[in-house]
Structure 1
Amino acid sequence: MMIGLSRGVLVASATVDVRFKFSNKPTTIETRRSPNQREIDSSRLVVESKSLNRRRSSSFTGRRYRVLILEEMGSMGMQEQFEEQRKPRILCLHGFRTSGEIMKKQIHKWPKSVMEKMDLVFLDGPFPAEGKSDVEGIFDPPYYEWFQFDKDFVEYRNLNKCLAYIEECIIKNGPIDGLMGFSQGAILSAALPGLQGKGMALLKVPKIKFLIIIGGAKFKSASLAEKAYSSPIDCPSLHFLGETDFLKPYGIKLMESFVNPVTIHHPKGHTVPRLDEKSLELMLSFLKSIQNKLSTGEPSYKEEERAAF
């Protein structure tokens, strides 16, 4: 017999039942063969429990789930579906010539009430910094960059290698639900849903479900912009705009490419800001909407991964 969890749903071989006992102690599991279930029966697992007249909470292997009792048609009786309360898993792309460790320090200025609602994965860019970093003397090296560009930001070097690297990291650290980017990482993050939709990037991984963009802008290359922003980007997005950020006008133009973007304004410049009361409310509301989206029975990571091929 095999028992496992897929996005919080308990699954097992079709020829056994699972019986749960609920108490103040951790949930225990018993298995038995159903008398009316044939070896070749391919119907769903029968799940029986005492006290099926109400919703209950339990603990399974140290992780919390919401227990929902569903009435099943026919002789299968009752089925119990577990929906895991997991946090959105977010891949974080740091700024130009900084690092994943530096971005972690920048983000951890945010309140615990925000941090505890995200599962963050911090990457280093694929290339060591080719020049001086603006954060020298503030944050310790090493420093990295995602790709290189000319002074007008219209020609890029190693961008395709960067996209392949991000895809590999998503596969390695998945399932990844969304992206959070700052500065160069924000420019890159904001372009990826459009490029993915056009079949130009991230072909081996599921669709990006949301973005958090801090100090972002568009790629200026006409050919790249055509692929990334030509169609409205229907991906939930939260954009941070700094009042004195030199990229603010470009960040506003970027937002015009998104469907119903959410905006957090702050009085600082090109930085990851602290959250004031209004910003905190917007941030928590956005994260709540993402959690609800992830909990509404969308295709599992593996199912989307198969569909991507």
Structure 2
Amino acid sequence: MRRLRILALHSFRTSGKIFSEQMKLAGLDAKLADLIDLVYVNAPCPATGPLPPDVPPDLFPPPYFEWWNAKQDPSTGEWSYEGWEETISYLTTFCAVNGPFDGLWAFSQGTMVSSILLAMQQKGQVLQDHPLRFAVLFAGVRPRVPELAQLLTDQLDVPSLHVIGERDKIKQWSLQLAELFMKPLVLMHPRGHIIPALTDESIATLRSFLSARAAESSL
């Protein structure tokens, strides 16, 4: 079976290179090298504010990017994702030029982008020529802004695997994202909001999930 070619979407105010380094630090790049070929892409928007506390500049140097900036309307209190439409347009063009891709591999804010892409794909709005067939999501977050609510009313009918930290402050949001998928496979780990070094049992589950996707692609 061929290796799966997967589009990798980084977290808030980081980069594709940083996501690659996070994978190496967790040892997942080596453990999965025979199964996957990750294509890391930078978000189209330069970072507009301070870095997250888990992104030390001495370990993860610039440049930094974000998929959008969350802003709150002072009059209504409602939040919006400034730039999300531009991000989706950017990624669909990237897929058309550099694809096809078998699936998505995402961390934190990247998982929100993934859910929007998959929802729009399911509604026939994007990626119809070469649809994405699965998602592996680390420390996921379900988008909540009103402008995207209509996109996320239906469960997503693609296989998904969700890696969630027991000590992650956004664990509940990650579980809610998993509920957006029809048949989510959830892997819990004992740490926080990170790409974890998975245990033997968990890495076996992840490898099994990826092997099943590779077998489907060879049919």
CA RMSD after TM alignment: 1.6
SS at structure 2 position matched to 1:290: helix
Contact kept, 8 Å, 2:7 with 2:41, in 1: the verdict is yes
Q: Which amino acid aligns with 1:144?
A: F
Deviates more, 1:186-195 or 1:269-278: 186-195
Distance 1:183 1:111 in 2: 18
> Is 1:174 aligned to residue 174 of structure 2?
no
**CA shift for structure 1 position 236:** 0.6
Contact kept, 8 Å, 2:15 with 2:63, in 1: the verdict is yes
**CA shift for structure 1 position 112:** 2.5
Q: Which amino acid aligns with 2:2?
A: R
Distance 1:199 1:157 in 2: 23
Give 1:132's match in structure 2, choosing from 45, 50, 59. 50
Identify the residue that residue 87 of structure 1 maps to in structure 2. Answer: 3
Q: How does 1:118-197 map to 2 (within 5 A)?
A: 118-134=36-52, 135=55, 136-150=57-71, 154-197=79-122
Q: Which amino acid aligns with 1:294?
A: S
Contact kept, 8 Å, 1:190 with 1:216, in 2: the verdict is no
Percentage of pairs with the same residue? 35
Identify the residue that residue 143 of structure 2 maps to in structure 1. Answer: 219
Give 2:192's match in structure 1, choosing from 264, 269, 275. 269
**CA shift for structure 1 position 122:** 0.3
**Deviating 4+ runs (over 4 angstroms):** none
- TM-score normalised to structure 1 length: 0.65
Contact kept, 8 Å, 1:126 with 1:162, in 2: the verdict is yes
Distance 2:90 2:104 in 1: 14
Distance 2:146 2:88 in 1: 18
In proportion to residue count, which structure has more helix? 2
Number of equivalences: 210
In proportion to residue count, which structure has more strand? 1
**CA shift for structure 1 position 181:** 0.8
Q: How does 1:1-309 map to 2 (within 5 A)?
A: 85-108=1-24, 109-110=27-28, 112-134=30-52, 135=55, 136-150=57-71, 154-200=79-125, 202-203=126-127, 205-227=129-151, 229-296=152-219
Larger radius of gyration: 1
**CA shift for structure 1 position 204:** 5.6
Q: 1:279-307: CA deviations, max 9, x gaps?
A: 111111101110111111xxxxxxxxxxx
Identify the residue that residue 304 of structure 1 maps to in structure 2. Answer: none
Q: 1:49-92: CA deviations, max 9, x gaps?
A: xxxxxxxxxxxxxxxxxxxxxxxxxxxxxxxxxxxx32111000
**CA shift for structure 1 position 240:** 0.6
